[in-house]
Amino acid sequence: MRILKIVTGPDGESHFQEAEIAFEPMGALACSEMWPVMGAGFRHFPPGFASDFHTAGMRELSVVLAGEADYEVSDGEVRRLGPGSVLLMEDTTGKGHRSRNVGAAERISLFLPLGD
């Protein structure tokens, strides 16, 4: 499974990268390794929401549950994420990223802050 990451490069700018999540057989299923999450929370972004550039307060996973958003990194690239999209935010320094809701719908995301 591939997920999207936002990272800070040596230039202080944020960039998108993709990461592969490996699955190991577990009986009839396949599971990834466990991630060290510190908790879980939900965020509601009202229709028309848009943020300015900001860094992630800590490394965190964001899973879009409803709605769509355009995420923009400081190098100018934009990616649209919708329900089921997983984003690993690692841009805790530098210029950061911004997001804006697409369309007239609200956006709801599950946030999982990661331990070291």
What pTM does this model have?
0.92
User: Which pLDDT score, from 0 to 100, does residue 116 have?
Assistant: 66
Sign of CA dihedral 59, 63, 69, 70: positive
Residue 85 forms part of a structural domain: yes
Residue 94 forms part of a structural domain: yes
- CATH of residue 114: 2.60.120.10
Residue 18 forms part of a structural domain: no
User: Which pLDDT score, from 0 to 100, does residue 112 have?
Assistant: 97
- How many domains is the chain built from? 1
Low-confidence residues in the chain, pLDDT < 50: none
User: Which pLDDT score, from 0 to 100, does residue 115 have?
Assistant: 76
CA 11 → CA 43, 51, 71, 88, 95, distances in Å? 30, 22, 19, 20, 10
Three-state SS letters, 63-91: EEEECCEEEEECCCCEEEECCCCEEEECC
Residue 116 forms part of a structural domain: yes
- Domain containing residue 49: 37-116
